[in-house]
Structure 1
Amino acid sequence: MFVLDYLSYLLTSFTTIFVIVDPLGNLPMFIALTEPFSSSEREKVSRRSTVLALVILLLITLTGGFILDFFKVTIEGLKIAGGILLFAISIDILMGGNRRESYVEKGVENRNVDSLAAFPIALPLYTGPGAITASIVLYSSAESILLKVMVLVSIVVTYAIVRVTQRYSNYLIRVLGKSGSDIVARVMAIFLAAIGIEYFFSGLFAKIQSFI
């Protein structure tokens, strides 16, 4: 495999995970959830939630293949289900993001720093079903160790960006504004819908070929 092929897979992996995790689009939710906290407490929530979200996604990505084998689920079946799920998530975001608003409502009841970092910020806001599905598909589809490493690197880089956006959330929101963040989220949702459709038809065609 040529270097360009590796770089292309790295770019695909990173773009897919970045679009789904959506660091900029999730900023208003992060700020809304941590609004009552002091700067030091918000920083603590940011560190813990980012590390926790990263660890969860890495563990699920690495063990996803074993989980699929245990439940006798094929990668094609996961692509079909994941494609439908990603498309549904993108529609929810495009239609106003009721799912995200519910995270804020649940977070209001859960103002402890440690518990808030775990739920709903780490899971499911930053490591939701879409990110889990996409990471398992990318990692399981990788044909070499180097490609699998690239998927893991993409995950780490994405959450490093999450950490930076949270660290400077006040400045970024001031620049983007609420409407700017909403626009970013909806633009990302369009790409997410396209990724979901690609997953769906890729898995569907593979299934059809296996039956034939």
Structure 2
Amino acid sequence: MNYLDFFLKAFVTIFVIVDPPGNIPLFMSLTESASDEERNTVSKKATLIAAVLLLFIVLTGNFILEVFRITLDGLRIAGGILLFVISIDILMGERRKRKYVEEGRESIDTDTLATFPIALPLYTGPGAITAGIVLYSTAETMIPKLLVILSIVVTYLIVRVTHMYSDKIIGLLGKSGSNIVARLMAIFLAAIAVEYFFAGVMGKLA
């Protein structure tokens, strides 16, 4: 196995689904009324919660599959459909933005806001969970499994960096640029979804 290729595949998959650059406008909108210190606190907590949650689910994924008697191919098929739906939702970004912003403004403190809706489901949603379980389950030895974990850690470190420099990134890209990035990510996510779906179908037919 080419470990570099596997890491790049895992990282790109997780990165595209989590979509750090595309979610910057959402994060800014959700923390619009917060001070710089409060926004930084929300960012730290949300990033940590999202990363720990995804890592926990990924590490226990095989046990979950066994408990519910779900095959990996079945998960690929369901995950492919789910990821494709999510990619469509990202393409309809304004509707998703309004939904998350309304939910975020109902939050009463930084802890609540960091947990919901920023950590879950914005940064660790069904798509990231499904992809993480599939990637980790298909890794046959310890090194690829560690590479999946590394790809998750690196992705959320990038999330944190985008929060720290969100004002500058928004200033550089502008709202239109951020929306374009989000939609480009959605196209890649749709392609990944198709690959998952047909890989699962071929596995079921084999």
Is the TM-score greater than 0.5? yes
Correspondence 1:36 to 2:33: yes
Q: CA deviation at 1:97?
A: 4.8
Aligned to 1:90: 87
Q: Which amino acid aligns with 1:203?
A: G
Aligned to 1:191: 188
On the 8 A contact 1:100/1:125 being kept in 2, the answer is no
On the 8 A contact 1:86/1:196 being kept in 2, the answer is yes
On the 8 A contact 1:82/1:134 being kept in 2, the answer is yes
* 1:172 alignment partner, SS class: helix
* 1:133 alignment partner, SS class: helix
* 1:25 alignment partner, SS class: coil
Counterpart CA distance in 2 for 1:152 and 1:95 is 30
Q: Where does 1:1-212 land on structure 2 (aligned, <5 Å)?
A: 1=1, 5-209=2-206
Q: CA deviation at 1:123?
A: 0.3
Q: 1:193-212: per-residue Cα shift (whole Å, max 9, x none)?
A: 00000000000000011xxx
Query: Which residues of structure 1 form unaligned runs of 5+?
Result: none
- Please provide the CA RMSD for this pair: 0.8
Query: Which residues of structure 2 form unaligned runs of 5+?
Result: none
Identity, in percent, stands at 63
Q: 1:5-56: per-residue Cα shift (whole Å, max 9, x none)?
A: 1110000000000000000000000000001011001000000000000000
Counterpart CA distance in 2 for 1:132 and 1:51 is 15
Q: CA deviation at 1:112?
A: 1.0
Q: Runs in 1 of length 4+ with deviation above 3 angstroms?
A: none
Q: 1:60-117: per-residue Cα shift (whole Å, max 9, x none)?
A: 0000110010000001000000000000111111133523431111111114111000
Counterpart CA distance in 1 for 2:117 and 2:108 is 11
Q: Residue 97 and residue 82 in structure 1: after superposition, are their counterparts in 2 closer, same or farther (change >3 A)?
A: farther
